[in-house]
Structure 1
Amino acid sequence: MTTTCTDIATALTDLLFTPGLPLAEAIDRHFAPDYRQRTDGRWDNRAEFAEHIAHLREVVTTGSVRVLDEFAHDHTYADRHIVEVIKNDGTHVATEVYLFGEFAPDGRFRRIEETTLLLAGPESERNLGSAR
């Protein structure tokens, strides 16, 4: 049996840029029950990650994900991508993300560790990747 793995562009599009898709469904689609994420040194469990995404859904109007580099092999995933968002107040934020991850046996993300670099937007948006 071949397992199809998710990827970050599809996951982020479902999480942030697909109006009408319930948050729980989007998370279940791409993230294993034991999911953990470290962003810029801060670890979050799946519930804390869901809280972060719920906050972003409240403050982000629209956006996109552009994958610059991507590698997947067996249970390992790595990429470099840029997330651009327009917030409700009109602020444009662009963040470059360096990501290393691990897939669960079912192809969903089990773990992601990432470092972010603010490319555009006010300095106050530097922590948008972990904001709540």
Structure 2
Amino acid sequence: MTPRTDLAGYLVRYPHEAGLGDEDPATVLDRYHTPDYELVNDGVLLDRQRLLDHIRPARRRAVGLRVEVQQALVDGDQVAARYRLTADLRKGGTITSEIYMFGELAEDGRLRRAVQATRTLPSG
């Protein structure tokens, strides 16, 4: 499974595997992304190392994740998605983010680059 063959599945699986799984975060990242993958999230550039630095503490903070995919489109090497990610926190409470993602795929179907805009939704 790659983002090209199942974008909605990737949007659901990747956060679970990266944020809650026991597998090495680098292995999970490399399964779905090219080695030169870059994510621009709300204007902040995250390369592979910065993403790995983000995953490790996220595993300590989250105890549950839910992803609801509203739209997921693939057209050639371009992808677009709109989805919500809800994280249940170890110390209590939840954070729900609405995410708009646009990306570029590599020949092998993995993500090469993505740009995301997010907004936090009120809990309730």
TM-score band (shorter)?
Answer: 0.7 to 0.9
2:90 aligns to what? Answer: 88
| 1:120 positional shift | 2.7
Q: Deviations over 1:59-83 (max 9, x none)?
A: 1111111101110111111000100
Q: Distance in 2 between matches of 1:120 and 1:109?
A: 30
Q: Which stretches in structure 1 are left out of the alignment for 5+ residues?
A: 122-132
1:52 aligns to what? Answer: 54
Instruction: Assess if the C-alpha contact under 8 Å between 2:40 and 2:115 holds in 1.
Output: yes
| 1:49 positional shift | 1.1
2:2 aligns to what? Answer: 5
**Given the two structures, how large is their TM-score scaled by the length of structure 1?**
0.82
Instruction: Assess if the C-alpha contact under 8 Å between 2:87 and 2:96 holds in 1.
Output: yes
Q: Distance in 2 between matches of 1:97 and 1:72?
A: 16
Q: Distance in 2 between matches of 1:90 and 1:118?
A: 17
2:67 aligns to what? Answer: 65
Q: Distance in 1 between matches of 2:103 and 2:18?
A: 17
1:42 aligns to what? Answer: 44
Instruction: Assess if the C-alpha contact under 8 Å between 1:101 and 1:109 holds in 2.
Output: yes
1:14 aligns to what? Answer: 17
Residue 52 of structure 1 aligns with an amino acid whose one-letter code is H
Residue 14 of structure 2 aligns with an amino acid whose one-letter code is A
In the alignment, which of 26, 29, 49 is matched to residue 28 of structure 2? 26
Residue 12 of structure 1 aligns with an amino acid whose one-letter code is P
Q: Distance in 2 between matches of 1:108 and 1:36?
A: 12
Instruction: Assess if the C-alpha contact under 8 Å between 2:15 and 2:65 holds in 1.
Output: no
| 1:111 positional shift | 0.5
Identity %: 26
Which SS does the other structure have where 1:32 is aligned? strand
| 1:21 positional shift | 2.2
